[in-house]
Amino acid sequence: MNYNIRGENVEVTEAIKAYVEKKVSKLERYFETPPTSDVNVNLSVYNDEQKIEVTIPMTNLLLRAEEKHEDLYAAIDLVVAKLERQIRKHKTKINRKSRQKGAAKYMFAEMEKSPVEQEDDDAIEIVRTKRFNLKPMDSEEAILQMDMLGHDFFVFTNADSGDTSVVYRRHDGKYGLIEPN
């Protein structure tokens, strides 16, 4: 893997760089042949909070995780754990699908599972279903409704287009809008 490590408001020292490469390279054990893709790592510091974002684009898979913590090294450990969970989840999903030769499942190495990992693979469970009528409104009204309810997102029918849309609160406190094509 080729590492592209950059820092915002933090100097990327050789020690930090070596630690990131050592931890992220442990992900190679999940693949039959080590991926040749780039590993994009963005380290940033804001108000005593360390943030790390890791993106690994591959042929059939995009691995991406971000984590915030007071300690940069702890954040690196947490983000690698997230990436490992993503790989295991994707591998399980691929193995359940077709087993035809040349499928994406052959990019993963066979690994022994501990009993805890076997439980995590089937951990996706829907525990509540909500049904509601979508009221036609504009995005500003949807944001007001979302804030009034105290939610991080709100689904509504866009009054202008008639399509179902979603407004959401971003990590930076601003708002986003998701619309269908």
Q: What is the CATH number of the domain that holds 93?
A: 3.30.160.100
The pLDDT value given to residue 125: 82
For the full predicted model, state whether its pTM sits above 0.85. Answer: no
Residue 22: domain span:
2-121
141: CATH: 3.30.505.50
Residue 98, domain member (yes or no): yes
- Same domain, yes or no: 84 and 107: yes
Residue 109 near residue 95 (C-beta atoms within 8 A): no
The predicted pLDDT at position 96 comes to: 67
> Cβ distance 83 to 110 under 8 Å?
no
SS3 content of the chain, % helix, strand, coil (to 5): 35, 30, 35
Report the distance separating Cα 109 and Cα 100, nearest Å: 16
Q: How many domains does the chain have?
A: 2
23 and 111 both lie in a single domain = yes
- Tell me, what's the pLDDT at 98? 47
**Same structural domain for residues 110 and 152?**
no
* Chunked mean pLDDT (size 10), the chain, 181 residues: 88 91 88 79 89 85 87 92 86 63 53 54 75 85 83 90 92 90 83
Predicted local distance difference test score (pLDDT) of residue 76: 92
Do 110 and 56 fall within a single domain? yes
